[in-house]
Amino acid sequence: MKLIIGLGNPDKKYQNTRHNLGQSIIKQFVETELKAFFLTKTNLLAQIFETGQGIDKNIFAFSTEYMNNSGITIQKISNFYKIDPKDIYIIHDDLDLPTGEYRIQFDRGPAGHNGIKSIIENLNTQQFNRIRVGIGKPQNNIPIEDYVLQNFSKEELDLISSVTPKIFEEIYTIIRN
């Protein structure tokens, strides 16, 4: 069983921001690729979509909590479904990658990402998978906290749109294995 979860913030005002990129990608995958919808699981603090059965089951999710509390949601989901951390894939924004690039990595520290810090603290391990999607670094001395909560420019959206199908292929590979 695999958990693929996109990080973000719940309020509408954050929906198109850089920090919600993970949540946006997982929503788009489930809604456009799988032609499905998420169900609210208030006990898990998440929106969830399930496919398959038994060991072939896959859970797609995003938290209904704020980014900095992502670990609480992921802990609840992993405990409920009995998912080993090595079978968890976190999709999130990453300042250390240029916009439109992505990396899949395992057992990596938070590098200043508060959502990842929360996950490590709540799972008591960093031995989970991450799909890091680049949002670039702020220019003109914009504070990081402001930068990640800004909307993407048209050019940035084009770069994200060009990499999204590649990330979808990676998700398909994850759920097939």
Q: Is 92 a catalytic residue?
A: no
Residue 124 burial class via C-beta count within 10 angstroms: exposed 0-12, middle 13-18, buried 19 and up: exposed
Distance in angstroms (rounded) separating the CA atoms of residues 72 and 29: 23
How many residues are recorded in the chain? 177
Distance in angstroms (rounded) separating the CA atoms of residues 149 and 151: 7
Token readout for 28 is 């788009």
Token readout for 29 is 């995958």
Q: Which helix (H) or strand (E) segment is 56 a member of?
A: none
Token readout for 92 is 């999130």
Facing residues of 132 across strands? 92, 103
Catalytic-role residue among 19, 27, 113, 130: 19
In the chain the beta strands, taken as DSSP E runs, fall at 2-6, 39-41, 46-51, 58-63, 88-94, 102-106, 129-134
The residues carrying an active-site annotation are 19
